[in-house]
Structure 1
Amino acid sequence: MSTRPTPQGLGFGAAVIANLYTEVPEEQAHEAVAAAWERGIRYYDTAPHYGLGLSERRLGAALREHPRDEYLISTKVGRRLEPAADGGGDDLANGFAVPATHRRVWDFTADGIRRTLDAGLERLGLDRVDIVYLHDPDDHAEQAFREGYPALEKLRAEGVVGAIGAGMNQAEMLTRFVRDTDVDVVLCAGRYTLLDQSARTELLPAALAKGTSVVVGGAFNSGLLADPRPGSTYNYTEAPGELLDRALRMKAVAERHGISLRAAALAFCAAHPAVTSVLVGARSAAEVHDCADQFATPVPEAFWQELRETGLLEEPS
């Protein structure tokens, strides 16, 4: 039986506390992580990409007061941070309200993987992480499979990391990782939700057959399923009218059954047998408590039945 670490239950995605779109004060970020711990969350995910290292620094500082063997932490490799020549301006073009002190360099070479991980460990203040993901290798598949993945295998064999995988906003290449490599876990963001079930066709069955864990991120599709309203975001851009209408109809069904759409969105992700953990991003303690409450809310079968009967949710093929 594998002893490699497996994320379980509700997880904390630490992109938001790295000033995603808008600034999150240091104390507020710390309180969000403290609330996650209070609610029993023991899996935390970060990446150098998030806030040019701010996410790793803040998450590491917040978790330092807790015993290291009581939580799982994952970070990512593939985007190496280098000091910017001018260091001026901000990083909002990449989604983070932080000074542009560094620039991201795509690097899935074996040397780049080790350098990126070493820098991440320094920012986290840790000597090891439990899981390392290849981060968004969409346009770098050849290098990721030829150099990046073997480098992760070596790090796992050396005990530097406990488990390895890939994290992406698509299901197709993740399916290839599951079928063609010995990854322990994949992080699939936004492709298994109430509005997009593309991961259900091949990725989830392949993971189930192989015994590979699936962590689902983007359960709210970047906002639309959390609180559908005009101007809501879907996949980080303004939601198309058709999807907004679909989300509003789902919300109305949820309210008729006495639950929130957020509870339904989280429950949908968690219900698949291949899924071991669902990541949520929260920028405050209040948002953490809300997510934990919604995750714990039972969703009646009649709700799912009405979604299927009204064509709002496809029947599994």
Structure 2
Amino acid sequence: MSINEILPGRLGFGTAPLGNMFRAIPDDEARATVEAAWDHGIRFFDTAPFYGAGLAETRLGEVLSTKPRDSYVLSTKVGRVILDEHETDVPDFGEKGGLFEHGNPNKIVHEWTAEATERSIEDSLKRLGTDRLDIVWVHDIAQDFHGDLWIQKYEEARTGAFRVLSRLRDEGVIKAWGLGVNKTEPIELTLALDEPQPDGYLLAGRYTLLDHEHALQRLLPMSQERNVEMVVGGPYSSGILAGGTNFEYQQAPQAIIDRVAKLKALAGLHGVSIKAAALQFSLAHPVAAAVIPGATRPSRIAEDTAALNEEIPAAFWTELRESGLVSPAAPLPNGA
């Protein structure tokens, strides 16, 4: 089953912020944000054990467990197992190391073996308060490893997580599986394999107004050729395109700040919100099935919904391309 056939719409909700990403979020605010997403008609929710060491899954589950299970699509991830013991050292998660310092204190272990995959799914079901998952992504495969160790970890996932998820899909336990990453190379490698093949992938931060060149070169042509669809994560590039100051999980460098200023100036000339430009750009590629911005305040959900439906004049897209702010190879909305 294709990702497009599973998803209930083009706008979903990414729950990384519910894991206390960047800041400690009160429980009632987190709950109100999920309820706002529901009230605005969003029925696709994506989460992961890594988000706050289980905190995002628990918070999401508290709300969704009160809704009819057949009325929404739920995805989570495998690859990081949450242990009962608490972390005593500073965890090493590379570029994502400080993202969830306000999350649960539980220790997190990288593991993509068959056993770890099955345990991760079982634990996620408990935290989410549900009896089934629709899509499972292999999370950040070999994200923080290099050289021979990267190959070793990828092989661990190929012979472990990939095969477990393929079996669960074939048995009808889940509807689909894929990779959930913020690098294109693991997806390209996986699509080149004879088996097992993913149904789609979640690509975070690599198909946005600020970063899309690399994906256009190899990954997206491969995806079109193989009819594999993409869910776009991080369409606001860690927040810099939505009024924040972060890019790639860190404070944005001056070059990015300057580029965002140019994008906002051009959008302002045409009366376009930068959020609308960001969401609609990411969805314009034919491989894109949905986009899943995150939020921690109910008001952000209304903004995202409005941005998706905002009428953007063709002249904006034309000038955006002519200005060199996007790749000439990037598809634009409405055939601009």
Shorter-normalised TM range = over 0.9
Which runs of structure 1 show a deviation greater than 6 angstroms over 4 or more consecutive aligned residues? 86-92
Identity %, equivalent residues: 40
Contact 2:84 2:107 in 1 (8 A): yes
Equivalent residue, structure 2, for 1:119: 123
- Alignment of 1:189 with 2:215, yes or no, is no
* Separation in 2, partners of 1:93, 1:110: 25
Trace 1:148-297 onto structure 2 (pairs within 5 A): 148-180=161-193, 181-197=196-212, 198-227=214-243, 232-297=245-310
How many residues align structurally? 314
In structure 2, distance between residues paired with 1:263 and 1:300: 11
- Partners of 2:49 and 2:124 within 8 A in 1: yes
Query: Using the alignment, how far apart are the partners of 1:18 and 1:235 within structure 2?
Result: 17
Q: Give a deviation string over 1:108-162, Cα, whole Å, max 9, x none.
A: 1100100011001011111110000100013321211122211111121232211
CA contact (8 A) 1:21 1:97 kept: yes
For structure 2, list consecutive stretches of 5 or more residues without a partner in the other structure: 146-152, 331-336
Cα distance in 1 for residues equivalent to 2:25 and 2:123: 23
Q: Mind listing any 5+ residue stretches in structure 1 that lack a counterpart?
A: none
Which residue pairs with 2:45 in the alignment?
44
Aligned mates of 2:236, 2:278 — CA distance in 1: 7
If the length of structure 1 is used for normalisation, what is the TM-score?
0.93
Structure 1 residues 33-71: Cα deviation after superposition (integer angstroms, max 9, x where no partner): 111111111100000000110111111111122111111
Q: 1:99 to 1:282 in 2, by over 3 A?
A: closer
- Once residues 34 and 60 of structure 1 are traced to their aligned partners in structure 2, the CA distance between those partners, rounded to angstroms, is 11
TM value normalised by structure 2: 0.88
Q: Where is the strand percentage greater, Structure 1 or Structure 2? A: 1
Q: Secondary structure at the match of 1:47?
A: coil
Aligned in 2, Cα 1:63/1:36: closer, same or farther, shift over 3 Å?
same
Q: Is the 8 A contact 1:7 1:276 kept in 2?
A: no
Distance 2:103 2:41 in 1: 33
- Asked if 2 retains the 8 angstrom alpha-carbon contact of 1:90 and 1:97, the reply is no
* Residue type at the aligned position of 1:218: G
* RMSD of aligned alpha carbons: 2.2
- Classify the secondary structure of the residue corresponding to 2:242: coil
